[in-house]
Amino acid sequence: MANRNVVQQKYQMRKILITLAILIACIAALSATWIFRGRQLSLFIDRFGTIEAASARVNLIVYEGSGTGGILHINDLALGLNDKNGPTPNIGSTKDNQLGLASGGKVFAFGPPRSEAENLAAVPPAGDDAFIEIRRSVLSWPTPFDFNFMTGHSPSWKRHRYYQLIWKKPSGAKLEMLWRYEQYFYPGDGWGSGFMTREGSTGLIRVDIHP
């Protein structure tokens, strides 16, 4: 009887050790995925939802450029239009002399242009509902192997930051523009500017004009 109890105890201990080993292996695999594939994992999760950080009405929109590319200033934000991997809208004056954006064969008019130094600018006309949302990724990822040899000051975490312009007209016309950038976290300083770029994955990623 005593021998049977000893065998059972050894069997139970073996099961516990095997379960513990499997658990440790799973944690190690998840940690490795988080470190080495964290950016891709974060992008995948972002498809299902992001976290709102701020939202504000658009008071002024200014275009700085030559018609294609350049910079779109929305309130105090400067959002680039130069990413070759994303959509390439054209911005200029429409047939009825309004500041407008053209993409995919469709045109959206922001409003009558006004003087803003050497750049085209407009304010939302009465009745327009225009606002800019700032959102961030649900999942941040660690960057233990990032090192800046010039300054020695490197981020320990990164996450994506999104800027979405939504502009609706009383007629039902609607413009949506979405930018994605990276945001770095520095120990002692916190999260930095949310405008860091990475070739092939940041910049203007979507332009939709309805109808």
| pLDDT 10s digits, 75-112 | 999 999 987 778 999 999 898 899 999 999 999 999 99
List residues bridging with 178 in a β-sheet: 164, 206
Q: Which long-range CB contacts under 8 A does 28-35 form with residues at least 24 apart?
A: 34/141, 34/142, 35/141, 35/142, 35/144
Confidence of residue 188 (pLDDT cuts 50, 70, 90): confident
Task: Return the structure tokens found at 155.
Answer: 């981020």
What pLDDT, on a 0 to 100 scale, did the predictor assign at position 22? Answer: 76
pLDDT at residue number 199: 81
Res. 1: pLDDT tops 80: no
Residue 151 pLDDT exceeds 70: no
Average of per-residue pLDDT across 63-83 = 92
Share above pLDDT 70 across residues of the chain, in percent, rounded to a whole number? 84
Q: Based on C-alpha coordinates, what's the Rg of the chain?
A: 25
Q: 100 and 90 in contact (C-beta within 8 Å)?
A: no
pTM comes to 0.84
Q: At residue 24, does pLDDT exceed 60?
A: yes
- Tokens in use for 62? 């200014």
Is a pLDDT exceeding 90 seen at residue 7?
Answer: no
